[in-house]
């Protein structure tokens, strides 16, 4: 299949190379941006301090300095560790993060691979990271790490369900699993005949949106759902024994996953890369504007996650399990029922 | 070239390439780090971390997994989600018939959750 990009005809391998490199650039750029913007600066301002100011203007090169620092750290394996699994676990977590980015569209044609299973693929791949975390916790041969990994396992599966059930509301409304179709449904939609903002599902599926964002907070093990890495009792949870670059990879994966989930939430609920069809912008314009639109939405949503993270105190383990099973899951099921009735009746 | 099967397989080939890239990136970081980092073995470094004191007992400690029944519940609900997804995409075609069918399905599952709830499974044991 030959696609045309900017008037150039591209062979399959050229197109694939472009898509893969584009995906990689988006991933690294957005993750780096989010780390600098929120973890270094936003939080510092919330805590009445300046944050990094030395490396580059306003500390903007601090991230590169950090990577350089971590690269030089000694790689220590604890003596009782299961060495192979210990070494491999960060790669699994990183691969899970990469897999999430594959189907998120950033423009009419800007997607690594436009799979028909779309959102289902994202959700399946996001849960792969649990395997990496359990591997890390087990292989470390450390009590803190083991307890942290078990907590992470329990929490990630508990909040996987509201996450999946909340997206079903959107799938019912859009009638497709493919993310491009979901974006198109929102751009072309209308609410009671008003079409100038399209039909972003955050309006009609507001309950699902709230469930999704809360579950994302828990899936990322950010405060208030950070029992797995609770530093006051487990030191750092499953990555307590990791040093140097392997530790940094967990860190990168955590923030890249935050970006990926935010991009998924923007695609499902906030209209994705598209601007409402009523604005009459052509496909050519959207090739350029699309990535900017989705990046903006995703970065703002990550901002909400971090805002909550640095504001609320931590839930106890039983409280967060109860919240998922007794509140979020019944609510998500009720949302499916209501959405389905609305879809059939109207 | 417009063979739908080969299109389908190629879309998954891109997935494979992208995942391969993540492992390449991982390997690259490892190699750079290996070239840069020091290696000064000292016996004390390799003791498992337990807040500064020597580890007590076996480090493969047993801990009570209090929410293993949640895992069983999770499997049930996750399989349910697998069944709901195809229905959700085709709801418009099924109409009222599909709606009633799925209500029966969801109701039975909610009954399961209510049963577990009443049994006290969702409590911190």
For residue B30, which residues of chain A lie inside 8 Å, CB to CB? Answer: 245
Distance (Å, whole) CA B53 – CA B56: 8
Determine the average pLDDT of the residues in A10-32. Answer: 82
Q: Which of the residues B37, B110, B121, B125 would you substitute to probe the A interface, choosing the one with the greatest number of A C-beta atoms within 10 Å?
A: B37
DSSP SS3 for B63:
coil
Q: Which domain holds residue A268?
A: 2-345
Q: Which domain holds residue B105?
A: 65-118
In a domain, residue B47? The reply is: no
- CB-based contacts of B71, cutoff 8 Å, min separation 6: A154, A157
Between A138 and A277, whose confidence is greater?
Answer: A138
Total domains in the fold of chain A = 1
User: Residue B65 has what pLDDT?
Assistant: 65
User: Residue A6 has what pLDDT?
Assistant: 56
Please answer yes or no on whether B109 and A77 come within 8 Å at the CB atom. Answer: no
In a domain, residue B84? The reply is: yes
User: Residue B60 has what pLDDT?
Assistant: 66
pLDDT higher than 50, residue A2:
no
What percent of chain A shows pLDDT beyond 70? 95
Determine the average pLDDT of the residues in A295-315. Answer: 88
Determine the average pLDDT of the residues in A159-182. Answer: 87
- Chains A–B, number of C-beta pairs less than 8 Å apart: 198
DSSP SS3 for B62:
coil
Determine the average pLDDT of the residues in B15-27. Answer: 88
Rounded to the nearest integer, the mean pLDDT of chain A is 83
User: Residue A262 has what pLDDT?
Assistant: 92
In a domain, residue B40? The reply is: no
Nearest CA in chain A to B16: A99
pLDDT in tens, A184-225: 888 877 777 676 777 788 778 888 899 999 999 888 887 787
CA B55 to chain centre: 31
Total domains in the fold of chain B = 1
Please answer yes or no on whether B50 and A341 come within 8 Å at the CB atom. Answer: no
A1 falls in which pLDDT band (50, 70, 90)? Answer: very low
A61 falls in which pLDDT band (50, 70, 90)? Answer: confident
Nearest CA in chain A to B14: A113
Q: Which two tokens stand for residue B74?
A: 């999770």
Looking at mean pLDDT, say which of A105-114, A265-274, B59-68 comes out highest. A265-274
pLDDT higher than 60, residue A101:
yes
Determine the average pLDDT of the residues in B91-111. Answer: 83
For residue A318, which residues of chain B lie inside 8 Å, CB to CB? Answer: 123-124
Q: Which two tokens stand for residue B119?
A: 């049994």
For residue B113, which residues of chain A lie inside 8 Å, CB to CB? Answer: 325, 329-330
Please answer yes or no on whether A72 and B85 come within 8 Å at the CB atom. Answer: no
Q: Report DSSP state, residue B48.
A: P
pLDDT higher than 70, residue A7:
no
This prediction has a pTM of 0.87
pLDDT higher than 70, residue A238:
yes
What CATH number is given to the structural domain containing B113?
1.20.58.1610
Q: Which two tokens stand for residue A346?
A: 């109207």
Please answer yes or no on whether A120 and B46 come within 8 Å at the CB atom. Answer: no
Please answer yes or no on whether B102 and A340 come within 8 Å at the CB atom. Answer: yes
DSSP SS3 for B65:
coil
Instruction: Please name every residue paired with A4 in a beta bridge, in sequence order, or none if there are none.
Output: A9
Three-state SS for A156-175 is: HHHHHHHHHHHHHHHHHHHC
pLDDT higher than 70, residue A139:
yes
User: Residue A4 has what pLDDT?
Assistant: 55
């Amino acid at each position: 299949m030959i696609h045309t990009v900017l008037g150039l005809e591209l062979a399959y391998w050229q197109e694939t190379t472009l898509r893969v490199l584009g995906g990689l650039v988006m991933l690294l750029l957005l993750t780096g941006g989010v780390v600098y913007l929120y973890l270094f600066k936003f939080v510092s301002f919330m805590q009445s301090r300046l944050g990094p100011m030395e490396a580059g203007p306003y500390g903007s090169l601090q991230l590169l300095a950090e990577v350089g620092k971590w690269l030089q750290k000694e790689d220590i394996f604890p003596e009782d560790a299961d060495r192979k699994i210990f070494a491999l676990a960060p790669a699994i977590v990183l691969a899970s993060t990469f897999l999430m980015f594959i189907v998120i569209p950033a423009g009419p044609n800007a997607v690594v691979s436009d799979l028909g299973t779309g959102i289902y693929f994202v959700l399946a791949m996001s849960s792969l990271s649990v395997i990496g975390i359990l591997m890390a916790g087990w292989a470390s041969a450390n009590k803190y790490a083991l307890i942290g990994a078990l907590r992470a396992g329990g929490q990630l599966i508990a909040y996987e369900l509201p996450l999946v059930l909340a997206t079903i509301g959107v799938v019912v409304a859009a009638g497709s699993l493919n993310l491009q179709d979901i974006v198109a449904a929102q751009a072309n939609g209308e609410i009671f005949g008003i079409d100038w903002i399209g039909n972003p599902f955050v309006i009609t599926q507001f309950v699902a949106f709230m469930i999704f964002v809360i579950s994302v907070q828990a899936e990322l093990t950010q405060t208030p759902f950070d029992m797995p890495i609770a530093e006051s009792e487990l030191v750092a949870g499953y990555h307590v024994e990791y040093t140097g670059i392997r530790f940094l990879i967990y860190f990168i994966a955590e923030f890249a996953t935050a970006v990926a989930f935010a991009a998924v939430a923007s695609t499902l609920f906030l209209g994705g890369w598209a601007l409402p069809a009523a604005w009459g912008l052509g496909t050519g314009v959207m090739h350029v504007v699309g990535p900017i639109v989705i990046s903006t939405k995703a970065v703002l949503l990550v901002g909400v996650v971090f805002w909550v993270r640095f504001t609320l105190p931590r839930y106890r383990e039983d409280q967060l399990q109860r919240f998922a099973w007794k509140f979020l899951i019944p609510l998500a099921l009720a949302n499916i029922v209501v959405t389905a009735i609305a879809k059939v009746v109207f | 070239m417009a063979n739908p099967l080969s299109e389908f397989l190629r879309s998954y080939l891109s997935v494979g390439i992208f995942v391969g890239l993540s492992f390449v990136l991982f390997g690259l970081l490892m190699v750079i780090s290996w070239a840069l980092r020091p290696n000064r073995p000292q016996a004390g470094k390799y003791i498992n971390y337990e807040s500064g004191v020597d580890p007590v007992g076996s480090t493969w400690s047993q801990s009570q997994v209090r929410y293993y029944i949640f895992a069983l519940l999770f499997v049930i609900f996750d399989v349910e989600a697998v069944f709901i997804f195809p229905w959700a995409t085709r709801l418009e075609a099924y109409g009222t018939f599909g709606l009633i069918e799925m209500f029966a399905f969801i109701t039975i599952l909610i009954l399961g959750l209510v049963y577990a709830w009443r049994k006290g499974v969702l409590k911190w044991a």
